[in-house]
Structure 1
Amino acid sequence: MLKIQEIREIINLIDQSCINEFTFEHEGSKITMKKQTQEVETVVRNVVAAPVAEPVHVQPVQTQTVSASNQEIVEAPKADTSNLHKIISPMVGTFYSASSPEAGDYVQVGSKVTNDTTVCIVEAMKLFNEIEAEVKGEIVEILVQNGQLVEYGQPLFLVKPE
């Protein structure tokens, strides 16, 4: 079985390549990775206003299709985050803030964390992977919502290091 670091390296290599699908079999284990591609359609409509007595002239709709592959759209942060540590997702999967729906969240804004504090779970291929803070400090912002799909390398938390 591959170690998690080896899987991360494979994910990184596939992410940076033009390969859309990858399958790896070794000693009875099988890993399949597929890149998600999204078609984003931008529609621009221009309407020329005219007095009520005259007909309204409508220009044709201009459509532009942009292909995005494994990219995220992130709004610019409002505060300076250069001194904050980002806890990032080590894999593609589903973000969970607690170990079960009945349990409380691992961390909240203002929670103190250490290097080995579990901050969330990322579920990938029916495996629940506990993500540790890897830094000592205070959670300043939670960047994703419970149940949200996350990408490899996507920031999950902002931590003010101590």
Structure 2
Amino acid sequence: MELKDIQNLIKFVAKSGASEVKLEMEDIKITVKTGPSKTETTFSQSVLSPVQIPVVSQVVPLAVAPVVPAAAVAAVTEENNESNLLTITSPIIGTFYRKPSPDKSNFIEIGDSVSADSVVCVIEAMKLFNEIESEVSGKIVKVLVDDSSPVEFGQPLFLVDPL
């Protein structure tokens, strides 16, 4: 198993919300434990040859830098509670784009109506551009993310006033 595969496993476990995952294969054993403030990963390999391989232990803190300031998130939460607005969130980590390409216009603007399955933006992840569709119907009230900004999984992108 390559280091890149192990790193992808750590990221997947952190996103999934699982508290502990154990993976055992022929010659490798991996345990990934996550908590509210840290992710702990233990790797051990056993080889039948006389050469001893050291056990590698690595603690990887989950550093999540909020793109939206906490005060703005609190204001959005209050506004959302007061007026029953719906939120379109990011289903993946990547770079947020409002346009399909630089020479085209935005998918949607404030005041536009969207229906379920309307494309509202694209998110680039690993050189792939993923079209993000609205899961709700209504009128776009606010765009919460700047164009070409990084976004996290579950991050609010748009506020929608339901019809």
Q: Which interval holds the TM-score relative to the shorter structure?
A: 0.5 to 0.7
Q: Contact (CA 8 Å) 2:14, 2:39: kept in 1 or not?
A: no
1:130 Cα deviation after fit: 0.6
- In structure 2, what residue type is equivalent to 1:114? S
1:15 Cα deviation after fit: 8.5
Q: Contact (CA 8 Å) 1:95, 1:147: kept in 2 or not?
A: yes
- Secondary structure of 2:80's aligned partner: coil
- In structure 2, what residue type is equivalent to 1:156? L
Which of the residues 13, 16, 25 maps onto 2:16?
A: 13
Aligned residues with identical type, % of pairs: 40
Q: Could you say which structure has the larger radius of gyration?
A: 1
Structure 2 length-normalised TM: 0.59
* Separation of aligned partners in 2, 1:127 and 1:117: 19
* Separation of aligned partners in 1, 2:115 and 2:80: 20
The equivalent of 1:119 in structure 2 is: 120
Q: Contact (CA 8 Å) 2:94, 2:151: kept in 1 or not?
A: yes
Unaligned 5+ segments in structure 2 are 1-11, 20-33, 42-59
Unaligned 5+ segments in structure 1 are 1-8, 22-35, 38-67
Between the two proteins, the alignment pairs up a number of residues equal to 111
1:71 Cα deviation after fit: 4.5
- Secondary structure of 2:157's aligned partner: strand
Q: Contact (CA 8 Å) 1:11, 1:91: kept in 2 or not?
A: no
Q: By percentage of residues, which structure has more strand?
A: 1
List structure 1 runs of 4+ shifted beyond 3 angstroms.
18-21
* Separation of aligned partners in 2, 1:120 and 1:113: 12
- Secondary structure of 1:81's aligned partner: helix
RMSD, aligned CA: 2.8
The equivalent of 2:133 in structure 1 is: 132
- For the structure 1 residues 120 and 15, does the alpha-carbon distance in structure 2 shift closer, same or farther, using more than 3 Å as the test? farther
- Secondary structure of 1:80's aligned partner: helix
The equivalent of 2:92 in structure 1 is: 91
Q: Contact (CA 8 Å) 2:95, 2:123: kept in 1 or not?
A: yes
- For the structure 1 residues 11 and 130, does the alpha-carbon distance in structure 2 shift closer, same or farther, using more than 3 Å as the test? farther
